[in-house]
Amino acid sequence: MALTEQINQLEADLQELGSLSEKAERKRVKEVLQQEQKKVEKELALKRQQKEQQAKREADPSAASKATYTVKINNYAWDQSEKFVKIYLTLKDVHKIPPENVEVKFTESSFSVLVKELDGKNHQMTILNLLGPVDEKDSYKKIKTDMVLVMCKKQTTKKWECLTKAEKQSKDKDKPATDDNADPSDGLMTMLKKIYSDGDDEMKRTINKAWSESQEKKIRGEGGGDMMDF
């Protein structure tokens, strides 16, 4: 439905709601009609604003291309449920532009967002190599106040540790290697060596002191595990 026709329909609805509200005698009925009037007035104002923007673009098609340039969306947050991975993009006034200006495309392992002509700019974001496969047909977008919500439908209900495979590889790289058959104390010594190597002078003095005390106890026969010579 074209914007002009939508505006005409909303104006007719508003007029009829006003007429019904004047005739209503019951307080509760009148309040319900007045609430609906406010909702229609808000929607009508938005459609009129969209029509005004459309008229400006049609009057001078070159103005939009001159004014707009593309910026990358770097900031986002994400969450997940059993069925969906949700990506939150905060973009001021995104709810005020035509919905068709917000394009989101999905593949099994990625998604891309393009928000056109918002605050004189295009806003773009692409996320590749998602951690798990998504169902592109059942994935979709939601436009909320100052926000675009990207809903990626998981193909399985498995919980995601992070959003992309690259992030997971980075996390796994930082994890210390483990050997199920190794002596548990070896892992402790590896950790202590890393702390000693990365620590400042105060940390190194503390570890050296602990090592010295451990050796003294061993000499006195009081037990105490071996600590590696740093």
The count of domains in the chain is: 3
Q: Would you say residue 78 has pLDDT above 60?
A: yes
Same domain, 160 and 196: no
Higher pLDDT, 65 or 152: 152
Q: What is the residue type of 180?
A: D
On average, the pLDDT of the chain sits at 83
> With a threshold of 0.75, does the pTM exceed it?
no
Instruction: Convert the pLDDT of each residue in 19-64 to its tens digit.
Output: 888 888 888 888 888 899 889 898 888 888 888 877 877 776 665 5
Q: Can you say whether residue 216 is alpha, beta or left, with left for phi > 0 and alpha for psi between -120 and 50 degrees? A: alpha
Buried b (16+ CB within 10 A) or exposed e, 118-139: beeeebebebeebbbebebeeb
Examine the pLDDT at 230 and tell me if it is beyond 50: no
Identify whether residues 58 and 12 lie together within a single domain: yes
Range of the domain at 101: 70-164
pLDDT band at 176 (very low <50, low <70, confident <90, very high): low
Tell which wins on pLDDT, 206 or 186: 206
What percentage of the chain carries pLDDT values higher than 90? 40
Together in a domain, 53 and 81: no
- The H or E element that residue 174 is part of is helix 165-174
Query: Looking at the predicted structure, is the pLDDT value of residue 138 above 90?
Result: yes
The Cα–Cα gap between 94 and 104 comes to 14
Q: Is residue 170 part of a domain?
A: no
Same domain, 91 and 45: no
